[in-house]
Chains A and B, each alone.
Chain A
Amino acid sequence: MDLSQYAELFLAESREHLSACNQLLLEWERNPAALEPVGGLFRAVHTIKGMAATMGYGRVADLAHRMENLLDHLRRGGRTPSDEIIQLLFRATDALEKSVMLAVTGHEREADLSVLEAIDDAALQFRPAAQPSALARLRPEPEPAAEPPSAPQVPAGRSPAGRTRTVHVTIRPEAPLKGGRAMLVVKKAERFGAVHRLQPPSAAFESDDFDGRLEFDLETAAVPGDIENALRAVGDVERVVVGTVALDEGLVTTGEIPVTGPAVAASSVARSRHIRVDLRRLDTLMDLIGELVTERGRLNELAARWLGHGGDPEIDEVAIQISRLSADLQNEIIQARMTPVWQVFDRFPRLVRDVARQLDKQVVFRVEGKEIELDREILDELGDPLVHLLRNAVDHGIEPPAERKRHKKNPEGEIVLAAVRERSSVAISISDDGRGIDRVKILDKAKREGVVGPHVESLSDDQLLRVLARPGFSTAESVTSVSGRGVGIDVAMTRIRALGGSVEIRTQPGKGTAFVLRLPVTLAIVRALIAAVGQERYALPLTYVAETVEYGTTPTTTMEGRDAIVLRDRVVPLVDLRKLLGTDGAAASPPPPPPPRRPVIVLEMGERRAGVIVDGMLSQQEIVVKGFDAPQGTLPVFSGATIMGDGVPALILDAAGLV
């Protein structure tokens, strides 16, 4: 059997269980008296053991087995584990994770199993006194093994049905779990009549010491041949001897009957409700759908043109039908790519705990909205930024316990990672109840470094974020191994922006800090407003378009030296795309002069707004976002490109770069 096809599944599922182990250990560490974590840990490790053994990963299975052994002892002992034991289990979980990774890449021999000794020592130390089978304790209520339910006891020799026969059965020595096999033999025999004088008693079948030999008296009218055949059919049976003990007859032995192998089921077409699909296939499919959507746009344009020239109206019907079908198709694929955020979030409790321990901080970490879904590609990219922000929260946000006490705060700080679905985006917030960001300190530093003018008196949240997000900007008084090297927020922000998302910050001195990341639900296809500037077309994702107004119909003013309009008492700074993009005069053929009435597209991102002046608005349509490697010197206002229905590319404007 080719096992390699199961390697990915093994890895994926082992990761889930390892992640569960980490979660449970964290829970146990917080509440060592709790009884649930050890049961869950046991199950997770047990499952990994079974899978690894099936894959032939001996070292992984061995490590898991010994962990399982220790966990079983802990569970049965019911004692509150010491911190040392929990730390050992963390180390063991790490070792298990590493060996799983090595095993699937064919380097299992390199696994570092030095933790085994400590595991075995601990297992010995915690070995409980009583000795029923280890796994027997998994039963909700351990109960003594009952004798097999047998037919009403009929005294030997008084059966009206027939006679009593002594049956000897030997299970194959190489058979696994001989006791189970023996139990099946007894059950099968009971179909023929009552079983008496079972030797050894069935309780002995539960022991691993059972050698596979059993005998019993069977009270039956059936002929020995039938009994033998039936008992051999139990499987893994080496020998069956059915004797006859008539009331006072001697033992008569019949011959042995060879065991023949059973036939394998005839094959027929099999059906299953689930299939596994390689993620790359899904990506390719998404690309193809993207191209289909582009072609659909072309078809629509062609149909409209042909109709205008007296073409067959049926083409319009076909175009509409194809539009509908491709929209459905696209929707299905997008759904198939959606992944719940827990797949990334689940490793964070361990991370936060490790960082907090390292820094001697006390932190309660909560995760909310684990089930919220995002496009897999976005989710994959989100991990690192979140790691940065969480480390920052522990390092810079949460105060040391003594300081928190001084400020009459709970010595245990709290960090919450929450995902919330908004209209067409997902908001992910990282909030702490720590000391907040010291605006005065940041402002001083920003002035010293010339980030803001010397006359600025206070920083708004937005300005604060812009200062913090400058590459290399750090106010950490000392560089720790955790954060404070000036990388972090800028890296996180760049990533989030590249995904078409935005970052907001809210902070209050003494109360805490929250970062809110807003991300599109899916990357690949977005609805956009197509605007014309000069001879070019640009796409603006609708997610960030708040409204459009006509330039000149609203009062104008200036804001920090920039033109602005006043919209319902709010000043909205303006960006003239003609000027920004250098459309005026730069091209070989002179661009058409700006139309007299130019629309302003108002973009909104969190609390920030900006008005973009364009020449005209052409349409609203779905565009397929293509990756975009901006050449050096390109304005940082494009987030990607798309191919329009007529095959001409258009650039996608990055709202975050404009507001």
Chain B
Amino acid sequence: MSHTVLVCDDAIFMRTMITDILAQAGFEVVGEAETGTQAVEKYRQLKPDLVTMDIVMPDMGGIDAVREIVKQDPDAKILMCSAMGQQALVVEAIQAGAKDFVVKPFQPSRVLEAVQRVLG
């Protein structure tokens, strides 16, 4: 059975690209979220095996969403999607409970490596 993934990013472009990369590798993207609030809500509903989380999102940012999700499920497997220059935020996200991170622009191989690490 393939692993289920929740993709959180406020840009459709990014969601599409991540979804394509994951789908081609056999993952099942079961949901998408555009804001941190949605991410927390969908995590509760869908209980995915993996979450990809953008850092900068309207409403509730990615890091707060990580905190909320980890509060619900300490074993949540969350992969942060960050941009260059977001070092401090990535460090903060990891302290909050994110399991790994990838840096934009995405290379499919690096995304999949990170996903394997998180799920492994």
Interface residues of A (CB under 8 A from B): 1, 6, 9-10, 12-13, 40, 43, 46-47, 49-51, 53-56, 132-136, 138-140, 145-146, 148-149, 176-180, 183-184, 187, 202, 205-208, 210, 233-235, 261-274, 276
Flag B12-24 by CB within 8 Å of A: 1 or 0 each: 1110110101111
Flag B21-56 by CB within 8 Å of A: 1 or 0 each: 111111111011000000000000000000000011
Are the C-beta atoms of B112 and A265 separated by less than 8 Å? yes
Are the C-beta atoms of B87 and A263 separated by less than 8 Å? no
Count residues of chain B with CB under 8 A from any CB of chain A.
Answer: 60
Q: Which residues of B contact A183 (CB under 8 A)?
A: 90-91, 94-95
A578 to B86, CA, bound (A): 76
A54-B106, A235-B113, A262-B113 known; A49-B83 Cβ under 8 A? yes
| Residue in B13, B92, B100, B101 whose CB lies within 8 Å of A145 | B92
Are the C-beta atoms of B87 and A205 separated by less than 8 Å? yes
How many contacts between A and B, using CB within 8 angstroms? Answer: 174
Are the C-beta atoms of A43 and B115 separated by less than 8 Å? no
A133-B87, A235-B113 known; A180-B26 Cβ under 8 A? no
Are the C-beta atoms of B56 and A265 separated by less than 8 Å? no
Are the C-beta atoms of A9 and B16 separated by less than 8 Å? yes
Name the distance in Å between A176's Cβ and chain B's nearest Cβ.
4
A208 to B11, CA, bound (A): 26
Q: Which residues of A contact B84 (CB under 8 A)?
A: 176-177
Are the C-beta atoms of B16 and A276 separated by less than 8 Å? yes
Are the C-beta atoms of A51 and B120 separated by less than 8 Å? no
A134-B85, A210-B87 known; A270-B2 Cβ under 8 A? yes
A10 to B14, CA, bound (A): 9
Name the distance in Å between B59's Cβ and chain A's nearest Cβ.
11
A269 to B27, CA, bound (A): 8
Are the C-beta atoms of B91 and A270 separated by less than 8 Å? no
Q: Which residues of A contact B22 (CB under 8 A)?
A: 270
Name the distance in Å between B42's Cβ and chain A's nearest Cβ.
12
Q: Closest A-chain residue to B3, C-beta based?
A: A265
Q: Closest A-chain residue to B12, C-beta based?
A: A13
Q: Which residues of A contact B106 (CB under 8 A)?
A: 54
Q: Which residues of A contact B16 (CB under 8 A)?
A: 6, 9, 276
| Residue in A50, A135, A235, A273 whose CB lies within 8 Å of B104 | A50
Q: Is B10 an interface residue (CB 8 A)?
A: yes
Q: Which residues of B contact A267 (CB under 8 A)?
A: 24-26
Name the distance in Å between B30's Cβ and chain A's nearest Cβ.
8
Are the C-beta atoms of A180 and B91 separated by less than 8 Å? yes
Flag B74-91 by CB within 8 Å of A: 1 or 0 each: 000000101111111111
| Residue in B10, B58, B91 whose CB lies within 8 Å of A179 | B91
A12 to B2, CA, bound (A): 31
A235-B100, A235-B114, A265-B25 known; A6-B85 Cβ under 8 A? no
Q: Closest A-chain residue to B1, C-beta based?
A: A268
Name the distance in Å between A47's Cβ and chain B's nearest Cβ.
5
A180-B90, A184-B100 known; A272-B2 Cβ under 8 A? no
Cross-chain pairs A/B with CB under 8 angstroms, 5 sampled: A9-B12, A43-B58, A149-B95, A183-B95, A268-B2
Q: Closest B-chain residue to A267, C-beta based?
A: B26
Name the distance in Å between B62's Cβ and chain A's nearest Cβ.
10
